[in-house]
Amino acid sequence: MAATEIDVKYVAHLARLNLTPEEEQTFGAQLSHVLGYIEKLKELDVSQVEPTAHAVPLLNVTRPDEPGPSLSNEDALRNAPATANGLFIVPKIVE
């Protein structure tokens, strides 16, 4: 089967990752090579196989809904690039 072409520009937009035209070209070529290799999974009949999301299936892991110690506001903001009034600052979202 022929190697698949990825619309790198579109996928990069979905991933919120700005790429240069050179990166789009390089990654596009490298990833169609990788996808060509991945095609081998189509050799297998998996119609009767259940998917595995986790190797150790643990179901409904819960704990009592009780407040415990957590990061202080100060600690949570310590690594932030921009803050004001105890909040993260981002560019204006709404007009």
Q: Token pair of 49, please?
A: 């196989």
| Beta carbon nearer to another protein, 2 or 46 | 46
94 lies in the binding site for another protein (CB under 8 A)? no
Alpha helices in the chain (DSSP H): 8-14, 21-38, 73-77
3 vs 14: CA distance, rounded Å: 22
Residues that bind another protein (CB under 8 A): 6, 8, 11-20, 23, 27, 30-31, 33-35, 37-38, 40-42, 44, 46, 49-56, 58, 61, 63, 71, 75-76, 78-82, 88, 90-93
